[in-house]
């Protein structure tokens, strides 16, 4: 344990097993990207070189993947939901009633889709979300003329709720935390005959989350093609670990023997992967309670087992951070050094950059810096997974200095 600005930063090391099913490969990412290229508005999101910040921190290079412009939905999550629905259609899953017309690509949603009291589509997809996955799924469902119901945990930001409703979906805030909301969404799917499209997995529920995770590898493929040289270090934020697991598997396949050091980053109040790695007893470990953190996208207490199998195989460092680290990252990215480009990053998106900044600037984190071998030869990759999806909170943090 050490401290950063008076707040604890905790880390552990474990030797990656190197053994995991090859679910998330370069070939699979090419298939996912080929689909995403068919969607209106697709283009690779920027991989931003922060040269002046890297020089300030004593790093050879620092790149940040900026997902704030992905399909106009401000987060990478739309990659997973859209690819999953595409694969469902390819496999002839019953997303629509027999004989129902299939909308053409780029179609408008059915009139009244997701609006109470209006004519409903023939089938409905349902999910639980902190905001970004639900928004991405609502966008994808609307293109296919599917109904969409999205449940959010208590305390969800009103702006995130309204963004989902604006896409024609029903959005309902529950009285529970994220994990209980996931279970409720599953019960509602069974009760109403809806299709559960959840971005986490459990025993008996693997195919849909696997397709969602494969959709995320489009982001990894873009990164690999945007970089001139492979990174030596990758920092991945994690909630349930679906995105982190998918990219761990992808980068292991992409870079083979030159695999980077991968660090998994979570908030203190929802560090289920950190706890699973710490116990290292072959079981998944959950975190219960309120899961109170500003990093809403990472406020998940139960690991995705498909994600963990990849993370266990390929990640070597696990870090649990206070909210202040994410807030610092938001301010660093929003107020760039020298001639670096500005990146508007939300709480969950900025935590990895905030952590790199803290490791390189805080003497109390010197042991972690040395263990990671973050020095003048290090080429670091971070992901800004979301933009300012809660603009009021963004201003409180970046303008007013909250946390």
Which parts of 184-280 are beta strand (E)? 195-196, 233-237, 261-267
Catalytic residue among 66, 77, 199, 323: 77
| Cα–Cα distance measured from residue 176 to residue 182, given in angstroms and rounded to the nearest whole number | 9
Residue with tokens 């896409």: 167
Using the 8-state DSSP alphabet, how is residue 69 labeled?
A: T
Angle at 152 between CA 312 and CA 69, to 5 degrees: 70
What are the two backbone dihedrals, phi and then psi, of residue 221, each rounded to the nearest 5 degrees? -65, -40
Q: Work out whether strand 147-152 and strand 170-173 pair parallel, antiparallel, or are unpaired.
A: parallel
* Residue 82 near residue 140 (C-beta atoms within 8 A): yes
DSSP 95-123: SS-TTPPPPPTTPPPPTTTT-TTSPPPS-
DSSP 276-310: HHHH-SSS-----S----S-GGG---S--HHHHHH
Catalytic residue among 66, 130, 199, 388: 130
To the query of whether residue 130 is one of the catalytic residues in this protein, the response is: yes
Instruction: Give the CA diameter of the chain.
Output: 66
Among 399, 334, 337, 328, which Cα is nearest to 359's?
328
CA-to-CA dists, residue 284 to 3, 22, 295, 310, angstroms: 27, 20, 22, 13
Using the 8-state DSSP alphabet, how is residue 38 labeled?
A: T
* Residue 342 near residue 333 (C-beta atoms within 8 A): yes
Helix (H, G, I), strand (E, B) or coil at 384: strand
Residue with tokens 């498909």: 306
To the query of whether residue 77 is one of the catalytic residues in this protein, the response is: yes
Enumerate residues 6+ apart whose C-beta is below 8 A from 98: none
Enumerate residues 6+ apart whose C-beta is below 8 A from 378: 59, 60, 61, 232, 233, 372
Joined tokens for residue 262: 């991968």
Using the 8-state DSSP alphabet, how is residue 124 labeled?
A: E
- What amino acid positions are annotated as catalytic residues? 77, 130
């Amino acid at each position: 344990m050490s401290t950063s600005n008076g707040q604890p930063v905790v880390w552990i090391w474990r030797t990656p097993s190197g053994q995991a099913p090859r679910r998330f490969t370069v070939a699979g990412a090419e298939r996912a990207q080929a689909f995403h290229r068919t969607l209106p508005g697709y283009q690779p999101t920027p991989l931003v070189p922060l040269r002046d910040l890297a020089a300030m921190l004593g790093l050879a290079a620092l790149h940040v993947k900026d997902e704030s412009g992905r399909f106009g939905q401000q987060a990478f999550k739309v990659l997973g939901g859209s690819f999953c629905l595409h694969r469902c259609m390819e496999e002839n899953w019953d997303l629509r009633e027999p004989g129902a017309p299939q909308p053409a690509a780029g179609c408008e949603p059915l009139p009244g889709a997701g609006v109470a009291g209006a004519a409903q589509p023939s089938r409905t997809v349902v999910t639980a979300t902190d905001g970004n996955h639900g928004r991405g799924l609502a966008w994808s469902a609307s293109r296919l003329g599917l109904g969409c119901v999205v449940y959010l945990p208590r305390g969800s930001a009103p702006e995130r709720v309204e963004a989902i409703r604006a896409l024609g979906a029903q959005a309902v805030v529950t009285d529970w935390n994220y994990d209980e909301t996931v279970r409720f969404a599953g019960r509602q799917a069974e009760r109403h005959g809806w299709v559960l499209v959840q971005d986490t997995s459990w025993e008996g529920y693997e195919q849909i989350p696997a397709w969602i995770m494969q959709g995320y590898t489009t982001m990894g493929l873009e990164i690999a093609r945007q970089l001139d040289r492979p990174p030596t270090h990758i920092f991945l934020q994690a909630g349930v670990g679906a995105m982190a697991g998918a990219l761990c598997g992808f980068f292991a396949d992409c870079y083979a023997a030159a695999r980077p050091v991968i660090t998994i980053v979570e908030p203190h109040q929802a560090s289920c992967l950190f706890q699973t790695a710490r116990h290292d007893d072959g079981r998944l470990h959950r975190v219960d309670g309120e899961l109170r953190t500003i990093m809403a996208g990472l406020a998940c207490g139960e690991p995705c087992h498909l994600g963990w199998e990849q993370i266990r195989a390929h990640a070597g460092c696990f870090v649990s951070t206070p909210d202040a680290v994410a807030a610092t990252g938001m301010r660093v990215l929003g107020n760039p050094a020298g001639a670096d480009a500005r990146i508007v990053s939300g709480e969950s998106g900025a935590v990895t950059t905030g952590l790199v900044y803290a490791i390189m600037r805080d003497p109390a984190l010197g042991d972690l810096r040395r263990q990671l071998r973050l020095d003048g030869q290090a080429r670091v990759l971070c992901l800004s997974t979301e933009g300012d999806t809660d603009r009021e909170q963004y201003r409180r943090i970046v303008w007013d200095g909250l946390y």
